[in-house]
Amino acid sequence: MRDATPASGYEILVREIEELSGGLFAKDGEYDQTCAHCARIVKIVEKMRSAKDKQNVTFVDLLDRLDDTGVRIWNESLKIKLSTKRMSAKILTQIAHMRSAAFALLTLAAPDEMNSRALTKLANLALKAGRNSGDYNKARELYEHCGKVHTVANTSRSFGSGRITANVLQYSGQCVIDVAEAKRLAALTAAYKGEVEFAASESPVAFMLMHNVTKKEAKAYLGTGELEEVAQICLNCARRATKSADAVQWCKSGIDLLDESKSQTSANGCALKARSMLIIGQIFLFLAASYMEMNALEAAEQTADLILQASPTTLLGYHLKVKCLTLKDPPQQLAIDKAYKLAVEQCASTVKDPEQFKLFLGMLHMMANHTSPTVAAVAVDVLLHRLEESAVSLEDRQVERLRILKMYLLMTATNVDDGVTAQVENLIDEVVDTDTNFPLAKTYRLILWQAADRATQEGHWADAIKWFKCSTRLLLDEPMDSRNTALVHRKLSICYLELGQLSQAYDCCLQGVKCTQSLSPSYYSNWMSQAAAKESSPTNDFLSYIILLDQSDQERALDHLKSIPCGKDTFQYFVSAAQAAFKKGNKRVIQEVLKHIVLSPMDWTANDNGANLLTVLRQAQVRSGDEAETFADLVIFIKKACCLLEGWKASSSLSAEAYTAEVDWLYRVAWNCALSSAVANQIELACELYHLTADILSLSEEETLQVLQGRKICLFATAAGNVSLGRQSSVQSVEHLRKAMTALKTMREICKRIQGNAVTVPKLDDPVLHQSIYLEFEINVRMEAWSELEPVLEYANSVGAPVQIFERLADIVTRHKCPSAVIFLTIQAALNAILKHDPEFDVKRFSQWFRVLIRTSLVSNKTAAMGLYDQVLAILESSSQESPYPKEEVEWLMIAAW
């Protein structure tokens, strides 16, 4: 283009504009392209404007083509606007761009010497393009252009000079016409510009501009249609206002303009146009709403009255009137009823319209919120009765909504008297009698259940029972409703329980169980239904347990509770059951509940389950006490806890401090229980408890001397108790003796660890160790393990057992049927111990044991007996006067030898 001559350059630009304008007839989806083409045309026009200013001859020849293009684009925008029923944001943007481009072309093509018609046309185009422009700055520019046009017209009339003035006067013949047109343009420009200013920033300048329009001398130059248009602008600004006071001021301006329109039509003998009626109605409604936002209820009510005076069938007016009355303090109930009844009488024929129907519902909700739900329920009946009288048939959905609303209102009533109950029953009767309206029945049920649940939360148990019972009439004979029936009966049972009506509560609970059991197997094929049944059955059983516990029927209560499988999902039931028994002070039931938990096959390996179990075990041990009949249960509890702690020690799932505390607590409980059972002569249980105590001590983090000593004592007590049980002639005697031997062997190992070295010999002054020798010897004698006796005697000598131990060993073999060799060996060991280790040698006691030894040896081994006589002779020779050998024993020895 730089190389082209000016003439050819203008030609190229005009041709480009024509090509761009040819692509403006956009189809769906080409809005963005149209807007882009228009923006490009505006830029080209700006480039060509300098050529016009220079009065370029070549350019003047192209002005007609630019004018034709501008007209064609403007007409196309009109066609789009008229043919489109619903203006989307994209279409509005497209029209705005097209009109901006058309106005730019027409302005460029306009001659310098324009007559009034051209000026007016250009100004009108500027106004329309400005209204369609979404760009506020662009709109301002266009309105400024329009303002210059009517300023020129006013100047021409005042000064009577200039080419434009001469042309205007030449065309019009009367300057008044041009002044009127200029005034009209000035008023419209002010109105449009005020809209732009307010839309941009809610500027106060907008009110000043609109005030200029509403002046009497300005309104006189506007026609009826233009007054309606400016009034619509006021309504739009009112809707856009963020402050209620601004909205009121805009509405008042709109009303002033429409009053002028009404005066003009009256002067012409015509009625107000429908559009004017519509706009003024909308303004009044918005004005009333704005007054209410400002809490100017009196003004709002007066506005609503004005609306109803002008149009008694305007339902929105009644809606606003009722709203004003309800917001007063206190609400004007009589006036509200009157306004509502007038609305029903005047507007019942329009209630079928969805928007009108919403207004009726809004009035009912306002009456319910500000007066009383029962009053609103009565108002629903008034509307339905009026519709029935006037033969207005609503859609089924609308009738259902009204009935549902009435049910909801009745359920929200604060005072549930017999009248409310009767109305609810009537609503249910209407549904039950049809046997077809299942959705409505289900909705009623939900409302009744919500009301009943709300009543239970508020402690209104009688009301809850009433609504739950009403809902049972709406339940169907189908699987899902069987579950619902079970749920309702369970809730009824809770309500009766709270009221202390235990027999009714238990009956409802049993009915709930029957409903759950009545579900068919095919129904249970659905996993959701299975889950629901699993949830329902434990809940019913738990509820039955609570009811029977209140009736002091412990056995049946526990039967219900024990039918619940103990698992992760049902664990809380048993915790609650134990708490309920605790509140009743029923120790036996607490023990049974806790015992059932402990003996359940539940997987306790998980950390949270283990913690729960340990808590239960702790409570079980505390609640059991020291009664003899509970020791067997305590053994079970402690075993379970011990196994649990073993698992935790292996997995290190507890902190060291917490683990040590649990072990220490369980050790103390087991030790005390073992002592108590021993005192109660529960020897077998005491043995088991002592053994458990030793096992618990083995779980300690550190093997201290105190821990080892405790284990040694517990194992000795276990062995001693089992030996005492083995002395009783029974089938289990041998088993008890074996347990005792196992405990003694473990104890010997612990004694070695106490010394710090498994090879070294334990201390010689350990009484527990010495007593264990006697127990081991007795076990071997009773089990006739004769070959094991000599090692025991050797061990007793090696640890320096006291003489009394050897004497007890000798006493054992003399009291039992033992081989003479065993007796001889044992008594000889006892005599040797007396001779070696007794610091105060008791000749009398020695002589008695020696007689037994001689008697035994004379039977089994006479050669050994001769050696014994040699030994006794040495003792006789060494005996002193202070401790002589007993005379009767000497005589017996002589006789035996003889």
Report the pLDDT value the prediction gives residue 727, as an integer from 0 to 100: 85
Burial of 90 (0-12, 13-18, 19+ CB in 10 A): middle
Query: What are the E-state strand segments in 798-882?
Result: none
CA dihedral sign, ordered 517, 519, 524, 526: negative
Q: Quick check: pTM over 0.85?
A: no
User: Lowest-confidence range among 142-156, 224-238, 594-608, 682-696?
Assistant: 142-156
- Provide the CB-side half-sphere exposure for 498 (13 A, CA): 17
The residue length of the chain stands at 898
* Span 9-59, pLDDT tens digits: 767 777 777 777 776 654 555 777 778 888 888 888 777 776 655 555 556
* Cα 813 from Cα 527, distance rounded (Å): 73
Report the pLDDT value the prediction gives residue 151, as an integer from 0 to 100: 53
Question: For residue 169, what pLDDT band results from cuts at 50, 70 and 90?
Answer: very low
Q: Other CB atoms closer than 10 Å to residue 136's CB: what's the count?
A: 14
Who has greater pLDDT, 279 or 783?
Answer: 783
> What is the average per-residue pLDDT within 806-811?
80
In the predicted model, is pLDDT for residue 752 greater than 60?
yes
Domain ranges of the chain: 6-200, 223-294, 295-400, 840-898
Report the pLDDT value the prediction gives residue 813, as an integer from 0 to 100: 80
% helix, strand, coil for the chain, step of 5: 80, 0, 20
Of 174, 167, 242, 146, nearest to 202 (Cα)? 242
* Cα 626 from Cα 631, distance rounded (Å): 7
3-state secondary structure of 461: helix
* Span 817-856, pLDDT tens digits: 888 778 778 777 877 776 676 656 566 666 666 666 666 6
In the predicted model, is pLDDT for residue 761 greater than 50?
no
In the predicted model, is pLDDT for residue 462 greater than 80?
yes
Most confident of 125-134, 199-208, 397-406: 397-406
User: Distance of alpha carbon 511 from its chain centroid, rounded?
Assistant: 31
User: Lowest-confidence range among 527-536, 769-778, 813-822?
Assistant: 527-536
Report the pLDDT value the prediction gives residue 714, as an integer from 0 to 100: 92
In the predicted model, is pLDDT for residue 160 greater than 50?
no
DSSP 243: S
Burial of 432 (0-12, 13-18, 19+ CB in 10 A): middle
CA dihedral sign, ordered 258, 261, 267, 271: negative
* Cα 613 from Cα 148, distance rounded (Å): 93
Angle (CA) 327-333-334 rounded to 5° is 135
Report the pLDDT value the prediction gives residue 119, as an integer from 0 to 100: 54
Report the pLDDT value the prediction gives residue 827, as an integer from 0 to 100: 75
Angle (CA) 688-694-696 rounded to 5° is 100
Most confident of 20-34, 61-75, 728-742: 728-742
Report the pLDDT value the prediction gives residue 275, as an integer from 0 to 100: 61
Question: For residue 874, what pLDDT band results from cuts at 50, 70 and 90?
Answer: low
- Contacting residues for 578 by C-beta, under 8 A, at least 6 apart: 590, 593, 594, 616, 619
* Span 407-423, pLDDT tens digits: 888 888 877 788 888 88
Who has greater pLDDT, 801 or 29?
Answer: 801
> What is the average per-residue pLDDT within 72-96?
72
Report the pLDDT value the prediction gives residue 162, as an integer from 0 to 100: 36
Of 546, 494, 484, 564, nearest to 519 (Cα)? 484
Report the pLDDT value the prediction gives residue 453, as an integer from 0 to 100: 92
User: Lowest-confidence range among 83-97, 122-136, 548-562?
Assistant: 122-136
In the predicted model, is pLDDT for residue 646 greater than 50?
yes
Who has greater pLDDT, 160 or 95?
Answer: 95
* Span 296-318, pLDDT tens digits: 767 777 777 776 776 777 777 77
In the predicted model, is pLDDT for residue 319 greater than 80?
no
Query: In this structure, are residues 364 and 376 in contact, taking their beta carbons and an 8 Å threshold?
Result: yes
Report the pLDDT value the prediction gives residue 174, as an integer from 0 to 100: 34
Using CA atoms, how far residue 664 sits from 395, 689, 696, in Å, is 77, 15, 8
Number of H helices, E strands in the chain: 43, 0
Query: In this structure, are residues 138 and 78 in contact, taking their beta carbons and an 8 Å threshold?
Result: no
Average pLDDT of the chain is 74
DSSP annotation string for 648-684: HHHHT-S-HHHHHHHHHHHHHHHHHHHHHHHHTT-HH
Burial of 264 (0-12, 13-18, 19+ CB in 10 A): middle
> What is the average per-residue pLDDT within 775-787?
87
User: Lowest-confidence range among 129-133, 191-195, 480-484, 645-649?
Assistant: 129-133
Percent of the chain scoring above 70 in pLDDT: 68
Question: b/e string for 525-559 if b means 16 or more Cβ within 10 A?
Answer: eeeebeebbbebbbbbbbbbbbbbbbeebbeebbe
User: Residue 277 is encoded by which pair of tokens?
Assistant: 């009626």
